[in-house]
Amino acid sequence: MIRPAEALRLVHINRILFRHGLDEVILATHLFRPLRFLYFVAPWHWFRRKQGPRAERIRKALEDLGPIFVKLGQIISTRRDLLPQDIADELALLQDQVAPFPTKQARKIIEQSLGCSIAEVFTQFDEKPLASASVAQVYGATLHDGRNVVVKVIRPNIIKTIERDTGLMQLIADLGERYSVEARRLRPTQLVSDFKRTVFDELDLVREAANASQLRRNFEKSELLHVPEVYWQWTSKQVMVMERISGVPIDDIRQLASHKVNMQKLAERGVEIFFKQVFVDNFFHADMHPGNIFVDVLNPENPRYIAVDFGIVGTLSDEDKRYLAKNFLAFFNRDYRRVAQLHLDSGWVPAHVHVGDLETAIRTVCEPNFSRPLKEISFGQILVRLFQTVRRFDFVIQPQLVLLQKTLLNIEGIGRQLYPDLDLWSTAKPFMEKAMREEVLLDTLISKLPGEKPEWLRRLPDLPGYIEKIVRDAAQGRLSVRLQAQELRQFQKVLKQGNRRNFFTTVGAALLICASVIYGLDGYQPDIIYGAPFPSWLLGVSGIGLIFLSWFRD
């Protein structure tokens, strides 16, 4: 049931879609399709000025709909495996620029959250915010010990706004999946659900601060990346105080050139940072777009990255990490059969898919890339094309893989902008080999063997992983055994035979005991047998009858 406020908001959304010439989006739905002829006879359609491309109109509509829809567009832009190229590129241009809320409100939130006055914490607090985004606002300040800091404050009443807008998004997504085949292909309800979870995660600044602290610890002794320090005594769910950094924005190429920064080294270090996070630390910053990355230019020959905004991070399971590394290595060895088998082994593709069909599809995507120099191959674009191609095999996109794809695209784009001749593979390979040295060593030895390699030998490097999984599942009580029907019948037959042997053994032992007892009664005397009581005869005959019945039943 739509409430009045939601109904008004829905009308507002439709009005903005019409304003940007997205009438076809509304009229293409099952609900309005019978009225589609009105679109062509309406006077405003005759005299409407020619508008820009479809993708540009979608971006402008999202900007007019407000900050929550802008953030949705940003997140959707990472799903290049689902979106047309033009829309994905245009949505990537969305900027989270939102009108600031009053500083008086920010002060009140800070004081309520920290339980003290602004003056008790800061000697100086800027009245004008440094930045204003959809979820939070950032101010510059100075602590009493002279350290310069930034103060991040969650917007007031933001939860109510998010719940209202995401509720409408869910409603629109449900209608789209119900009435549009194209919408179902884009999986809008899943996208909205993932978006809602991401936005609500960003509302907890303690969570973001913990992410920042973990990343800082991972690069504590490294010259590759600087992560600002979190001041935990002044951090809460609604307020976070961090070290203030100064650096050149990563996309300001002109300023970097004026400082004579070594661009090749800067580009290669960006790749190193990404692969260290993924294949060594297993904890990566998943929002590394140019607005969150700066460069420390104090030593231009040895430049260092600076990262901010840690609301979205990603992790991989050991299995995912190992499979990814093997996929990359197999890809560059052009072993498409191996790539296909890895997709099946990892569970990313259902077991009923034929490995040969998947191998052919992957070869179609990957082989054209090897006609170009290695430095021109785009990991990110290949990953996108693979996701698009194997989707027809019921390929299940894992959230952590989507974050990885998004981050890889950002890093690769930045790297090639800084240094167009960047050879991504030569920079990345040592990190992947280090992450799976034993498996890589076995793969290398097997590849050097002459002749055709049997399948069991090709899968030998995976054996330690399989054994580890079996032991872990058994320890956790998750080990299951599946028997085929024929195997089960054979097992039942063996079990019956075993039971019958046990039965005869028991009866035989009982008869032997009886014979011994009778013989012990002064030897064998026919009179004893003939003169036995009736119950004894009945017991003996019944026992023999049971033996014959059991024999014929089996």
Write the Ramachandran bin of 477: left for phi over 0, alpha for psi from -120 to 50, otherwise beta: left
* Burial grade of 3 (CB within 10 A; 0-12, 13-18, 19 or more): exposed
Per residue in 286-318, pLDDT (tens digit) is: 888 788 899 999 999 999 999 999 988 888 877
Q: Are 114 and 136 in contact (CB under 8 A)?
A: no
Q: CA torsion, points 519, 524, 525, 530, in degrees to nearest 10?
A: 70
pLDDT score of 440: 46
Q: Starting at the earlier edge strand, list the strands of the sheet with 248-249.
A: 225-226, 304-307, 293-296, 248-249
Under 8 Å between Cβ of 348 and 389: no
Angstrom distance (rounded) from CA 321 to CA 284: 12
> Rounded distance, CA 425 to CA 59, Å?
34
Quote the pLDDT of residue 365: 81
In terms of C-beta density within 10 A (0-12 exposed, 13-18 middle, 19 or more buried), how is residue 511 classed?
middle
Predicted TM-score of the model (pTM): 0.68
DSSP summary character for residue 281:
I
Contact predicate 294/322, CB 8 Å: no
The answer to whether residues 408 and 383 touch, using CB atoms and an 8 Å cutoff, is yes
Give me the catalytic one of 287, 320, 423, 462: 287
- Strand-pairing partners, residue 137, are 132, 153
Local confidence pLDDT in tens for the 554 residues of the chain: 556 666 676 777 777 877 777 765 555 555 445 555 455 555 555 555 566 788 888 888 888 887 778 878 877 776 665 677 788 778 877 766 678 899 999 999 999 999 999 999 999 999 999 988 888 999 999 999 999 999 999 999 888 888 888 887 887 778 777 766 666 666 778 778 877 887 888 889 999 999 999 999 999 988 999 999 999 999 999 999 999 999 999 989 999 999 999 999 999 899 889 888 888 888 999 888 788 899 999 999 999 999 999 988 888 877 777 777 787 778 777 888 888 888 888 777 888 888 888 899 888 888 877 666 656 777 767 777 777 777 777 766 666 677 777 777 778 778 888 888 887 777 777 776 666 654 544 554 455 555 555 554 455 555 555 565 566 556 666 555 544 445 456 655 655 666 665 555 555 555 555 555 455 544 444 444 445 554 454 455 555 555 554 544 45
Q: What is residue 544's predicted lDDT score, i.e. its pLDDT?
A: 56
Query: CA-to-CA distance for 205 and 243, rounded, in angstroms?
Result: 15
CB atoms within 10 A of CB 123: 11
CA distance 342 to 14: 45
CA distance readout (Å), 94 to 349, 406, 498: 33, 15, 72
End-to-end CA distance of the chain: 65
Q: Can you point out the beta strands (E) in 222-311? A: 225-226, 239-243, 248-249, 284-285, 293-296, 304-307
Q: For the chain, which residues make up each domain, given as ranges?
A: 1-96, 98-244, 258-435, 490-553
Q: Are 297 and 261 in contact (CB under 8 A)?
A: yes
Contact indicator for 100, 37 with CB cutoff of 8 Å: no
Annotation says 287 is catalytic = yes
Q: How do 304-307 and 225-226 pair as beta strands?
A: parallel
DSSP per position, 157-222:
THHHHHHHHHHHHHHHHHHHHHH-HHHHHH-HHHHHHHHHHHHHHHT-HHHHHHHHHHHHHHTTT-
Q: What is the pLDDT of residue 489?
A: 60
DSSP result, 478-529: -------HHHHHHHHHHHHHHHHHHHHHHHHHHHHHHHHHHHHTTS--HHHH
H-assigned helices in 289-447: 318-332, 336-345, 355-366, 379-390, 399-418, 424-435, 437-447
